[in-house]
Amino acid sequence: MPPEFSIRSDSVDVDEIMTQIRARIREKRGVDYTEEELRQLAAVKLEKFLDPTRVRSDLISHYRRLREPGGAADTPPENYAFDDHLVYGSARGGSGAIITRVRRLLNPVLKLFFNPNPIIQVLNRQSAINAYYREEFDRTAALNYELIHNLVLEVTRLGIEVKNLKMRMESLSGRLDFSDRRARALESVVQYRPGSGPAAEPAEAADAPVAAAGRAARRDGGAARREVDAVRREGDAAAPGGPIKGEAQRARRRRRRRGRSGAAGQPDQGGGEPGSQADEAESGAGAHGAGGGAGDSLPFDSREPGPAGQPAPGPGDLTDQ
Amino acid sequence: MKLAVVVQRYGLDINGGAELHARYVAEQLARRAEVDVLTTCARDYITWRNELPAGESQVNGLRVRRFPVRRERDPRRFGRRSHHVFGSAHSLADELAWLDSEGPASTALVDFIRRHERGYDYFIFFSFRYYHAYHGIRAAAPRALLVPTAERDGAVGLALFAPIFRGVRALMYNSFEERAMIQAAAGNDAVPNVVVGVGSEVPASTDPERFRRKYGIASPFIVYVGRIDENKGCKELFSHFDRYTRAVRGELSLVLMGNAVLPVPDHPRIRHLGFVGDDDKFDGIAASEALVMPSYFESLSMVALEAWALGRPVLANGRCDVLQGQCLRSNAGLFYEGDVEFIETLALIQSNRRLASALGRNGREYFQRHYTWPVIVRRYLDMFERLRAEDQGGAAPAPMEPLPGWFARRRAVCRAGDEVVRELPAGPALRSGRRR
C-alpha cells in the first residue's frame, strides 16, 4: 500500500511561518503598551465614559451585574422542560409508574376525543424556543459588553497613538524651525555692501582649486577632504577681504557640523552612507563657486527645496540670526 | 472482481462534490474491475424529483442502474425535523423520521441491494448522511465500504449513524480531520480504514499567457474557483481583500471563476469571469500568484489539490480544520484566521518569490505523492485485498448492530446532534489522527 500522508521536512515549514507571522502581528499591535496595560487603560476609560453620574444610563451597572458571578438584575423564571413524558408521567413514586402506563394505554381512547400530539409538540417547541432566546439574550448581552469594551480599547489605543504622533509632530516642527533659522543665519553670514565687495575674479580664482579638490574629495574620501581644507586655507590667505573670510568661516562651521553629524551617526531615510549627502553638497558648493553663498554646503536633500529656493537677502540686510 | 458504486445521484451533468467524487472513482476502478453504478432517478438534491428514467443506461461506458425515489422531499417537514434532532434531545425514531424526510427515499434501490448482495464483491457507498447509504449499508453490511464525505455538522452527532460507522467493512476517508471526527463520534477505530481522498484530471501543460490575453489581465492576481456564495466564505473574502488593497501598495487583483449567488462588489481590483471551462480554469490557476480558498466547511477541496498539482500555493481559511491540515501536511499553503492574517499572509506570498515557488513545488510533490489516480486506485485495491484476505482467513466481520425495539426507539435519550459535534475534538490533524 502506498504510504499514508507524512509531513515533509523541507526548507519551507508552514507551521513555523505561521508562528512567525502571528508573532509579527502581535508585535505590531503592541508597539508601546502590552495588551494587559492597554486593557487597564481601557478599563479606566470605560469607567470614565460610562460614569452613571455623568451619563444618563444604567448601562454600566447593568453590565456590572451581568459580569458578577451568577449576577443578573432580574432572574427570569426557570424554563419549563417539556416532553411527552410530562403529559403522561406521574410523580407518585411506585404507583406513578402504574399511572403512567394506564394513561399511555388509554391514550388511544383519549385520541377519540382529541389529538394531544400537536399540543405536546407545540409546547415542546415553545420550550425549546424559550431556551433558545434565553441563551441568545445571554450571549448577546455578553457580546455587547465585549464589543463596547473592545471599542473603548481601540479608541484608547488610537488616542495614545494620536497623542504620540502629535508630540512627534511638534518635535519635528521645532527641529524644522531650528534648521530653518540656522540655514538663514548661515546664509546671512556673508553680506556685501554695495560696492564694497571683493571682485569676483579673485574669489573665483580662489575657489577653482577648491572645486577641483571637492571633486577629488568625493572620489577619495577623507584624504581628499583634508586636501580641500588645505586649499581653502591657502585661498583664505591668498585672497584677503570679506568674502574670502566668510568662506573660511563657512568652512569652519561645516567642519564643526560634520563633526556633530558624525557623532550623531544617523543615516537619513534616503539611505547611503552617513554624511555622503553633506559631502556632495559641500563639493557642489565648491563647484558652483562663490556666487553669493546661497545653496552651498547646507545638508538638504536634493529633493527638498533648499535655501536656494528662498528669496535671497537684499543688499544691505546685515542681519545675523 | 465485481463492484457496485452506490450514490444518491449520478450523471455527467451532476457536479456535486460527492457525486463527482463517486463518478471519478467508479470510472477509475472500472479499468481494474467490473463496476456497476446504483443510483436514483433524481437530479435535484433539494427535491429528489424523479427526472431520469428508471432502469439501465450507460454513462461513460459504465452500466448505471437507476431506481425511482418513492416521494419528493418536503422542505418544511425536513427543516422542522432537522431543527428537532440537531437542536434538542430526541428519540431514535425521530432520527429515523428525519432520515426518511431527508431522502432520497428509494426503497427500490435498497431492495435491489438486499436481493443482489451476493452478486457483488463489494458495495462502495458514498455520503453517509442520506437514506440510500444508511439503509443500503444495513442491507449489505458484510460487503459495504463507506466513503463518508462528512463535514463538521450536526448529522455526524446523530445516534443512528454510529452503528453504521462501526458496522461497515471499511471506511475510505477524505482527510485525517474527517477520520478523527468520525472516530471520536462513533468509536470505530477498529474498523479498517484509509485516508484516500480523490484524484483530479489536471492537464500536463497549461498556457497562462493565453488566459491573460483572453481576459485582458496584465497585473498579478490571486484566483478563487467555485460557487461565489456566502456559505463558501466569499463575503468575508471580499472584505479581507478590500482591506488588503488599502493596506498594501501594488496592483494585485482578485479574479473569481464560478457562478455568483452572492453579488460581487464593484471594486476596481476584483474581476468576476463567471463560469469558465476546464481549460480556462487550469490556465487561470497556473497564471495566478496563488489560489485562495475561503470556505469554512470542506471535507476535501479538489480545487486546492488542482492548484497544488499546477505548482501554485494556496491561501486557505484556517478556521476550516481540513484546509489548515492540508496546508500543514503539504507545506504548500498558508492560512489565515481574520483580516490581519489575510493581509500578512497574502503580502508574504506576493512579495517573497522564493517562498511562493517553494510552496508551489511542495504542493506539486504532495499531489504527485498522494492524489494522482494510480495512487488513489492502488489504495482502493489494497483495501479490497485486505478485506478479501480477512474473509479467506475466516475472520468473520463484526455484525451490524440491530436497531433497538419499538419502545426503545421512542425513548428520548438521544442528545442534540449539534451539541455532540461541539464536543468533538477540533483542529487540524497532523498525522494519524493526532491533533494540534
Q: Which helix (H) or strand (E) holds B344?
A: helix B339-351
Q: Is B7 helix (H, G, I), strand (E, B) or coil?
A: coil
What's the average model confidence in pLDDT over A122-133?
87
Q: Model confidence over A293-303: pLDDT tens digits?
A: 333 333 333 33
In single-letter form, the type of residue at position B370 comes to H
Query: What pLDDT score was predicted for residue A145?
Result: 75
Q: Model confidence over A4-27: pLDDT tens digits?
A: 433 344 578 888 889 888 888 877
Range from A104-113, A133-142, B345-354 carrying the lowest mean pLDDT: A133-142
Low-confidence ranges of chain B (pLDDT < 50): 432-433
**Number of residues written out for chain B:** 436
CB atoms within 10 A of CB B388: 13
- The whole-angstrom distance between residue B397's C-alpha and the CA centroid of its chain comes to 27
Q: Residue B331: which of A4, A12, A25 has the nearest Cβ? A: A12
Q: Is B411 helix (H, G, I), strand (E, B) or coil?
A: coil
Domains (range + CATH), chain B: 2-199+373-435 (3.40.50.2000), 208-370 (3.40.50.2000)
CB atoms within 10 A of CB B349: 23
Q: Residue A10: which of B89, B341, B362 has the nearest Cβ? A: B362
More confident residue, B210 or A210: B210
Left (φ > 0), alpha (ψ -120 to 50) or beta: where does B35 sit? Answer: beta
For B49, the grid coordinates are: 424529483
Buried b (16+ CB within 10 A) or exposed e, B58-84: ebeebebbbbbbbebbeeeebeebbeb
Q: What is the DSSP letter of A21?
A: H
In single-letter form, the type of residue at position A30 comes to G
Mutate to test the interface with B, among A11, A18, A129 (most CBs of B within 10 A): A18
Tell me: pLDDT of A284 over 60.
no
Chain-chain contact of B194 with A2 (C-beta, under 8 angstroms): no
Chain B residues touching A7 at Cβ < 8 A? 328-329, 331, 430-431
Complete DSSP assignment for A108-166 = HHHHHH---HHHHHHHHHHHHHHHHHHHHHHHHHHHHHHHHHHHHHHHHHHHHHHHHHH
Strand partners, B3: B35, B122
Strand partners, B40: B67
Q: Which residues contact A49 (CB under 8 A, 6 or more apart)?
A: A55, A152
- Rounded distance, CA B237 to CA B343, Å? 11
Q: Which helix (H) or strand (E) holds B310?
A: none
Tell me: pLDDT of A214 over 80.
no
Chain A residues touching B412 at Cβ < 8 A? 83-85
Among the listed residues B188, B176, B126, the one whose alpha carbon sits nearest the alpha carbon of residue B427 = B176
Tell me: pLDDT of A274 over 70.
no
Would you place residue A194 in the very low, low, confident or very high pLDDT band (cuts 50, 70, 90)?
A: low
- The whole-angstrom distance between residue B264's C-alpha and the CA centroid of its chain comes to 26
Chain-chain contact of B87 with A132 (C-beta, under 8 angstroms): yes
Would you place residue A42 in the very low, low, confident or very high pLDDT band (cuts 50, 70, 90)?
A: low
Q: What ipTM does the predicted assembly reach?
A: 0.79
Give the dihedral of Cα atoms B178, B184, B186, B191; nearest 10 deg.
70
CB atoms within 10 A of CB B394: 6
Among the listed residues B295, B276, B431, the one whose alpha carbon sits nearest the alpha carbon of residue A15 = B431
User: For chain A, give me the number of helices (H) and strands (E)?
Assistant: 11, 0
Query: What pLDDT score was predicted for residue A301?
Result: 36
What's the average model confidence in pLDDT over A213-233?
47
Range from A66-80, A141-155, B104-118, B402-416 carrying the lowest mean pLDDT: A66-80
Would you place residue A277 in the very low, low, confident or very high pLDDT band (cuts 50, 70, 90)?
A: very low
Would you place residue A63 in the very low, low, confident or very high pLDDT band (cuts 50, 70, 90)?
A: low
pLDDT averaged over every residue in chain A: 62
What CA–CA distances, in Å, run from B318 to B296, B341, B369? 8, 10, 23
CB atoms within 10 A of CB A188: 16
Q: Which residues contact B342 (CB under 8 A, 6 or more apart)?
A: B240, B241, B243, B244, B315, B336
CB atoms within 10 A of CB A277: 18
Complete DSSP assignment for B104-151 = ---HHHHHHHHHTGGG-SEEEEE-TTSHHHHHHHHHSGGGEEEE----
- Rounded distance, CA A59 to CA A56, Å? 9
Would you place residue A154 in the very low, low, confident or very high pLDDT band (cuts 50, 70, 90)?
A: confident
Query: What pLDDT score was predicted for residue B209?
Result: 94
For B86, the grid coordinates are: 440537531
Would you place residue A248 in the very low, low, confident or very high pLDDT band (cuts 50, 70, 90)?
A: low
Look up the pTM and report it: 0.59
Which residues 310-369 on chain B approach chain A with CB closer than 8 angstroms?
Answer: 327-335, 340-341, 344-345, 348, 355, 358-359, 362, 365-366
Q: Residue A13: which of B331, B370, B412 has the nearest Cβ? A: B331
